[in-house]
Amino acid sequence: MAMDFKGIDIPNKEALERRYGAQRVQYERILNELQRGMKALLSQTFSHPTIKVRVKHFTSYYQKILKRLQCCQTKDNAFDITDVLGMRIILPFLEDLKTVEALIREKFQVIEMERKGANYSFKEFGYDSIHFLIKVPAEILSLFQFGSDLVCEVQLRTILQDAWAEIEHELVYKAEFAPFDEPLKRKLAALNANLTLSDIIFQEIRDYQQQLHAQLKRRRATFHEKIRMAASQINPEMAENYPSKKEAEEDVERGEEITTGSSPHKKRGHHGNLDDLLLDALEAHNSKQFKEAIAIYTAILGLKPLIHIQSLIHIHRGMAYTAESDYKQALEDFSRALELDQKSAKAYYYRGVVYSILTKYSEALEDFHQCLRLNPYQYDPIFCRAQIYFHLGDYSQALIDCEQALNLQPESEQAHQFKQLVQARLHL
């Protein structure tokens, strides 16, 4: 399929090498174009996909032909080497392999597919890898006036699988085992098992982080919905400039999309480890079971985690208290978070929001100042501070902050609406 040498009765190395060399440049150009297309495809899903390509070295090509002939294969297929063009796609996580596998099946004509290592027992060593044999698209072949069909072997591996394959190639395939190498084989099997376990653990950590991130986004949406409701009671005119219910719901939907395909989290009461308890608390929080969330946050604090974690848990619990309209307890939690971590911009921001709800505008203004002193490039505290200035009648400063907020998020409809409101007060 790669080249037609069926007319050669005996594989003359020099003759084969001349013919192979004559087409090698064309192979490289075709493969580079295929790599470019694959990068464009994967970049829609992955930020920096790692793709390696190679045209098989002639020595390897020749040795493979000899091995095929030695195995009593006919001359008709001994020269049909399907891995002349090789591509390796290396990905961080096991889940990524499934994503790329689906993309390849969708975008390319797959001739065959093999999961190497799938049949190994736990006592055996060997690398896991997904191997595709794909047909090079006709539009690529036509670019280089290549007149016959051409295939490319595509390997999918995680970073650890690739590292193991490279090492295994040196230790196993380039060196023959002796009968007395059984202890070495056991060591290699143990090492391979550790790398496989590491891949599984990395994937579990990633799943947890995605689930946690989704819950945090939903919790934030719930908190902003509470702000909007409280603001509508204080000043209906200003309430329109807080995050809307629709925006909060969109945050929730985006959060739910992140968890698609991951295992549902099972609640474990108040006796799980810290990670499990945090997910339980966030799920209760996002389900508006605020008392349950507060109880779990309290249980987490009872475990005496690290200081910076305690600060974060106080912030979470403060947000749950805010949702329950228990502003006294919320302020105590946010203040405690700041005692534990004086550089917590989030604690200043959330406490400022509660002060705003309570119409304690001077205290709110000071907290937003402190929040922005720690990190001046935050849309929410700048926009909230603009509204505090509005409440205090400082419309000029309100407009300045509003325009700064729009510099960060020019697409914000609420900021544009608020700017019009401020400009009307300034008669601009």
Is residue 3 one of the residues assigned to a domain?
Answer: no
The pLDDT of residue 296 is 92
Model pLDDT for residues 412-427, shown as the tens digit of each residue: 998 999 999 999 999 8
Q: Which residues pair with 135 in a beta bridge?
A: 151
> Do 239 and 310 share a domain, yes or no?
no
What is the overall mean pLDDT for the chain? 79
Specify the number of domains making up the chain: 3
What does the pLDDT look like over 224-236, one tens digit per residue?
666 665 555 445 5
Same domain, 217 and 317: no
- Residue 308 and residue 251 in one domain: no
Whether residue 1 lies inside any domain: the answer is no
Tell me the two tokens of residue 122: 């736990």
Tokens of 23: 């087409």
Q: pLDDT (tens digit, 9 = 90+) per residue, 285-334?
A: 888 899 999 999 999 999 998 999 999 999 999 999 998 999 999 999 99
Residues 163 and 301 in one domain: no
Are residues 375 and 303 part of one domain? yes
Q: Which of 144, 176, 208 is the last residue of a domain?
A: 176
139 Cβ neighbours under 8 A, 6+ residues apart: none
* Predicted local confidence at residue 72, as pLDDT: 59
Confidence of residue 177 (pLDDT cuts 50, 70, 90): low
Q: Which of 261, 296, 328 is the last residue of a domain?
A: 261
Residues 198 and 182: their CA atoms lie apart, in Å, by 24
pLDDT, tens digit (0-9, with 9 covering 90-100), for 45-93: 886 789 999 999 988 888 888 887 777 555 656 667 888 999 999 988 8
Nearest CA to 384 out of 229, 241, 236 is that of: 241
Query: 79 is in which domain, residue-wise?
Result: 13-176
Poorest-confidence range of 8-12, 190-194, 295-299, 361-365? 8-12
Does residue 217 share a domain with residue 75? no
137 and 283 part of one domain: no
CA atoms within 13 A on the CB side of 232: 10
Rounded Cα distance, 249 and 253, in Å: 6
Same domain, 136 and 33: yes
pLDDT of residue 113 exceeding 70: yes
CATH code, domain carrying 398: 1.25.40.10
